[in-house]
Amino acid sequence: MSGGDFLMLTFAPLLAGVLAALACSLSGTFLLLRRQALLGDAVSHVVLPGIVAGFLVSGRIATVPMLLGAAGAAVVAVALIEVVRRAGRVEPGAAMGIVFTTMFALGVLLLEQTGASGVHLDVEHALFGNLESLIWIEGGAGWGALADPGALAGLPPELGRMALAVAVAGGAVALFWRPLVLATFDPGHAAAVGLPVGAISLGLTGLAALAAVTAFQAVGAILVIAMFICPAAAARLMTDSLKVQVALTLALAAGSAAAGFWAAGALPPLLGHAQAVSAAGMIAVVSGTALALAAAFGPRRHRAAAG
């Protein structure tokens, strides 16, 4: 593949996958440590009708209206969980399961029954993403396009949104590192010293929602859960140091995204198949494989077994 072909056909979707994985894994690390790993799954399900509603209202795929729609859907979900829990006298876990699946089904119905499915969104792409469509036409001019401001302006707008999500998540984690760590490992002590534990939890949920919305175009509403959980869980099995764990999580997230994107196009021909497979699906497979290897051979796994 020539430099021009790589930049036009591969550079943008590859970078989008890496950025989506980084944004999700940053919030996923702390969700995992707080024993709220499935919150990433919940967010990815709940925000779908909000994302679609934001698109229908604004008429375009843009971060702000879709994020506002996702936030509104989250508020509705919280209210519905409480209603179901009290009216049905069921446990909170059961109430959450009912609401999450119902809202996800509502999002799918909105996609099918409104104009969204015939314009920019459809069920397949909403669920499994559409990385392969992020083509950079100006990249066909060759490597010089990387230094050409005019050519760079033609990059898919999804890249800018994902880069912003990574910057916001990274900046928030760096700025609030100490209170975030304390509230994660010892929320009682954090509250005793005056830290706003509730606000920290809400902020972390907001980062997860931002990551889910911006990764929506890349990997869809289902496979994003692999980006939230697998890199963080694999890194947790490899070290006891939080800073090292965060670094490993980011490395595993970026590596899994890059390797998965490559494997989606390269492996099928090697196995005798003519067509490539879903890039987002292969990213999830590679992320799961990394987690399985960490579970089998990770240093912390062996120490825990020995103890």
Q: Could you report the per-residue pLDDT of 167-217, keeping only the tens digit for each?
A: 999 999 999 999 999 999 988 888 998 889 888 888 888 888 888 877 876
Q: Based on the number of CB atoms within 10 Å of its own CB, is 198 exposed (0-12), middle (13-18) or buried (19 or more)?
A: exposed
pLDDT digits (tens, 9 = 90+) for 227-252: 889 999 999 999 989 999 999 999 99
Identify the helix (H) or strand (E) that includes residue 105: helix 92-113
Does the pTM surpass 0.85? The reply is no
Torsion of CA 198, 199, 200, 201, to 10 degrees: 50
Confidence of residue 306 (pLDDT cuts 50, 70, 90): very low
Half-sphere exposure of 158 (CA within 13 A, CB side): 28
What is the Cα–Cα distance from 154 to 151, expressed in whole angstroms? Answer: 5
d(CA 198, CA 185): 14
User: What's residue 47's pLDDT?
Assistant: 77
Backbone angles phi, psi at 248, to 5 degrees: -65, -40
Asked if residues 141 and 4 have their Cβ atoms less than 8 Å apart, the reply is yes
- Dist. CA 42–CA 35, nearest whole Å: 14
Please classify residue 245 by burial: count the beta carbons closer than 10 Å to its beta carbon, then call 0-12 exposed, 13-18 middle and 19+ buried.
buried
d(CA 23, CA 29): 11
